[in-house]
Structure 1
């Protein structure tokens, strides 16, 4: 299943087009740099797919960098997604997905919020059909 492709010129434009329709629906973003260290992560992101690397299920450990887990990291703050999408190479992808939090297996990451202010949601399992947004420019260039 391939995600929708789009090019957005600014954070304001994303926020203007990404309004939640109900209280249970939360729009989350995931930034993936083209030089992401995980094998196949960027290629899957180009198809609108986010797949965990597999391994442990400790949310705090995942947030502290041990990302060989059952989670993928998402955020409710698009500027954080942009940072992660461009922090290594200056180009990457932001995945955008509406999640029904009443039906989604997720963990809020208090560790990431306290240490990094990332507004992180750790989503369990593989996610298909995310909207694919290509971004360029080093973080802070927008």
Structure 2
């Protein structure tokens, strides 16, 4: 019985090297996938912050005419989202005190996994607030 165990033990010598090589290969694939996906999560976070900041600016000025702040954020983040406003307008771009201000930002991002192709997805961020300006 002991001879069989010793013989079996001798026959499995190189198995751990193969297991280690396969484990390292799997680990590298997971790291490569993470390197592709993490920038998308960062862009989503930046898009959420972008929406929050332009809504806050619109609340302060009481208008959706915040193009200067939008351009600053575009330069700062490198994003160029489509911007959709949904507001209770008083006149022109003005929003009366306590009027709703809603914004939706949409940004298309490509997730590519090296030579396996590119997969476009659309990131969307929403923010809302109330105007803080009273118009007579």
TM-score for the superposition, normalised by structure 2? 0.29
**Structure holding more helix per residue:** 2
Which of structures 1 and 2 has the larger relative contact order (alpha carbons within 8 angstroms, sep 6+)? 1
In terms of Rg, which structure is larger? 2
TM-score for the superposition, normalised by structure 1? 0.28
